[in-house]
Chain A
Amino acid sequence: MRVVVIGAGVIGLSTALCIHERYHSVLPSLDVKIYADCFTPLTTTDVAAGLWQPYLSDPSNPQEVHWNQQTFDYLLSHIHSPKAARMGLAPVSGYNLFHEAVPDPFWKDIVLGFRKLTPRELDMFPNYSYGWFSTNLILEGRTYLQWLTERLTERGVKFFQRKVESFEEVARGGADVIINCTGVWAGGLQPDPLLQPGRGQIIKVDAPWVKHFILTHDPDSGIYKSPYIIPGIQALTLGGIFQLGNWSEANSIQDHNTIWEGCCRLEPTLKDARIVAECTGCRPVRPHIRLERERLRFGSANTEVIHNYGHGGYGLTIHWGCALEAAALFGKVLEERKLLTMPPSHL
């Protein structure tokens, strides 16, 4: 059973790991390969600040609520482990700020210690009159991808640097199942009018005294268009850019100024912080995630494709739940082909 995962961002690597963990012991012929045209540190995941937090509004697909929860629980179970830091994982508390009262989000009981902000806390943020405090998680993209790569390499999964032009070429190369984790570029393999780039730019600074995340929200601007500050393991990420339809991966001076001014207004202590990096990435935006099977026929053989893309700005937040779902879909493929000798062990 030859599986090819296309894409080496968080979705590709975590799906590959999840499938291998669940099925390699019950399917001796399982052979997983990863094809990607770029790997860490050049993927979209590497640009992400890595804060676990879904969007504020309920997802259009209620399954996504479940996948978010599964991801949080999975990550939380690793917090106590000495290897958490090597995964890029740590608890982080912080503030969500609003100009007016808003309903509680669907994820309020998933994160820890969710509560409203007290008046004295709001005094710290003069432009905002309402907010939440919660303990979330940080999962730094770059570190997590390196960790996933190590786990996959240990398991004998091989990586290949190549630009895939079509599902057909991969199928004709011998793949039985293709996992499509191509993110914002999925349209290149199969047109998808629902998928669009949501360009984001971030500045990384050295400000180790900032221990909290601060996310601001402006209903008129929309998600990620309002300044945000997210501490990482080493550096602090400043952001606030979301441009639908913009494919440019170059840093823009105008966006730099928008981010810098917005974040310094929010957190005056940043005045003298040293800038260490600046990057741009295109979030794979879609009204809901495409996570489903598709059977394609090339020549005389059927090739199963499992699509897993379109995670917008919440890929790290939802990745493990999606990986579990993709692995379940893979399991169905195996059942249909009568390849499973015994039920897969659930880790």
Chain B
Amino acid sequence: MTSEWSQTLFPLCPMCVYVLKEGFYNVINSRPRGSRICTPPLRTAVKRPMDAARVAVVGAGVMGLSTALCISKLAPRCSVTVIADKFSPDTMSDVAAGILIPHTYPDTPVHKQKQWFRETFDHLFAVANSAEAGEAGVHLVSGWQIFRSIPTEEAPFWADVVLGFRKMTEAELRKFPEHASGQAFTTLKCEGSAYLPWLQKRVKESGGLMVTRRIEDLWELHPSFDIVVNCSGLGSRQLAGDSEIFPVRGQVLKVQAPWVKHFIRDGSGLTYVYPGTFNVTLGGCRQKGDWNLTPDAEMSRDILSRCCALEPSLQGAWDIQEKVGLRPSRAGVRLQTELLARDGRRLPVVHHYGHGGGGFCMHWGTALEATRLLSECVQTLRTPASKSKL
């Protein structure tokens, strides 16, 4: 036990029992919730170069893992530990279909959204065309976005990022008699259930660690870590005291319908059919402020009915599984550094959360930006002037 403990960077609690399994420290028999859970032990051993910045990434959804990977690759001399109470397949990212069709953030400038989307698209496009595509769960998919009326804007901001964007022909529209216009294009799909494990593997290959643990307060990470990257999604309500983030509940059906090769998205984004590697995702709904993670049978019937109206062959779908995810919604993505201070202690935190339903679309672009913010923090930590302040 001792040698394993000495390799960890995390203050393992002397009261909790840990099991090391496949690179993960899993907590078993931890103290009940609500009580001040774990007290740091007296020693934490570091097996890293003397001036390596010790980074804790909180959250192991698509944001946490992609940020951890960007940091491992791009930020000089950092060690990365991803800490989360849930890993794939139990994260919100596992529920999402992961199709790259952006939503719009009202509080973020359009050029920024376009930049993030383009960076994400380019990154995933490279994966999709490589030998890793199957393992990473990333692939191209073509299809149609259809509107019941003619949309006011000619083309969305992302039209030249996806491939082959054009208006649908009359012949194509005949497939959708209730819709008056549409757009055809080729985009990417990035499936959480495969992509997250693939990211984890790459983070571990770069020397990153994964720890299963529920963080109740970011100060738990002090002093074992120098910088925290907060990718906790809805958890930021508590961890960052952010009341601007709220859930938008989404329910989906994951079904077997392997003959469906195209995506179909109704212009409002409420009804969609997204074929993936292992199943087809049918959706959906947007219920603001609803925290309920239990699937609702009537909603499932409604989703199936709406999707069959778009694609009648889905009546033959089998092995229907209901899933619920809560989109971590906010008027704008929170990408900023906050210097926490308490009793003379300081803890820099890079916030990277609040992507709502656009997480997969923007993840690599915002992870790169979070990494830039982190590098600035590392820089600040290393300059002698700031060290004397600590």
Contacts and interface: CB of A to CB of B under 8 A. Distances in A.
Asked if chains A and B come from one complex, the reply is yes
Interface of A: 79-86, 89-93, 112-113, 115, 117-118, 120-121, 124, 133, 135, 138, 207-212, 231, 233-234, 268-269, 271-273
Nearest to B257: A85
Given A81-B313, A209-B277, A233 B258 contact: yes
Contact of A272 (B135, B163, B261, B315): B135
A302 to B, nearest CB: 45
Contacts of A124: 129
A112 B171 contact: yes
Nearest to B315: A82
Given A120-B163, A211-B142, A233 B259 contact: yes
B259 A113 contact: no
20 contacts: A80-B312, A81-B312, A82-B312, A85-B316, A89-B259, A91-B175, A93-B142, A115-B166, A120-B163, A121-B186, A208-B277, A209-B139, A210-B139, A211-B139, A211-B140, A211-B261, A211-B262, A212-B261, A233-B258, A268-B129
Contacts of A212: 140, 142, 261
Nearest to B278: A208
A93 B262 contact: yes
Residue picked from A86, A92, A211, most chain B C-beta under 10 Å: A211
Interface in B254-302: 257-262, 275-278
B316 A82 contact: yes
B50 interface: no
Given A268-B133, A272-B135, 11 more contacts: A81-B313, A82-B308, A82-B316, A91-B261, A124-B129, A138-B259, A208-B258, A209-B276, A233-B259, A234-B258, A269-B134
Contact of A112 (B128, B137, B163, B172): B172
A287 to B, nearest CB: 31
Interface of B is mostly: mixed
A81 to B, nearest CB: 6
Contacts of B137: 209
Interface of B: 128-131, 133-135, 137-142, 163-164, 166, 168-169, 171-172, 175, 184, 186, 257-262, 275-278, 308, 312-313, 315-316
A85 B168 CA distance: 24
A312 B141 CA distance: 31
With a 10 A CB-CB cut-off, give which of B129, B134, B186, B259 has the most chain A CB atoms.
Answer: B259
Nearest to B139: A209
Nearest to A211: B261
Contacts of A207: 134
A269 B164 CA distance: 21
Given A113-B172, A115-B164, A84 B259 contact: yes
A207 B278 CA distance: 10
Kindly list the 3 A-B residue pairs having the minimum CB-CB distance in the complex, ordered from nearest: A269-B133, A82-B315, A209-B139
Given A211-B140, A273-B134, A85 B277 contact: no
Contacts of B139: 209-211, 269
Contacts of A138: 259, 261
A113 B143 CA distance: 11
B136 to A, nearest CB: 9
Nearest to A81: B312
A209 B134 contact: yes
Contacts, number: 103
A92 B320 CA distance: 23
Nearest to A93: B142
Of listed B258, B277, B313, residue having the most chain A CB within 10 A? B313
Contacts of A135: 142, 172, 262
A112 B143 CA distance: 12
Given A85-B313, A211-B142, A79 B175 contact: yes
Contact of B128 (A80, A115, A269): A269
Contacts of B278: 208
Given A92-B261, A269-B129, A121 B313 contact: no
A81 B316 CA distance: 10
Contacts of B259: 84-85, 89-90, 138, 233
Most buried by B among A79, A93, A209: A209
A92 B259 CA distance: 9
Contacts of A112: 169, 171-172
A113 B169 contact: yes
Contacts of B169: 112-113
Contacts of B142: 93, 135, 211-212
A174 B138 CA distance: 60
Contacts of B166: 113, 115
Contacts of A82: 308, 312-313, 315-316
Contacts of B312: 80-82, 84
Contacts of A85: 257, 259, 313, 316
Residue among B128, B258, B260 with the highest chain A CB neighbour number at 10 A: B258
A117 B131 CA distance: 23
A115 B171 CA distance: 14
Contact of B164 (A83, A84, A121): A121
Given A82-B312, A118-B163, A124-B129, A272 B134 contact: yes
A269 B131 contact: yes
Contact of B275 (A115, A120, A211): A211
Given A93-B142, A268-B131, A269-B130, A86 B316 contact: yes
B316 A93 contact: no
Contacts of B315: 82
A271 B171 CA distance: 37
A36 to B, nearest CB: 27
A269 B316 CA distance: 29
A260 to B, nearest CB: 14
Nearest to A94: B142
A5 to B, nearest CB: 28
Contacts of B131: 268-269, 271-272
B150 to A, nearest CB: 19
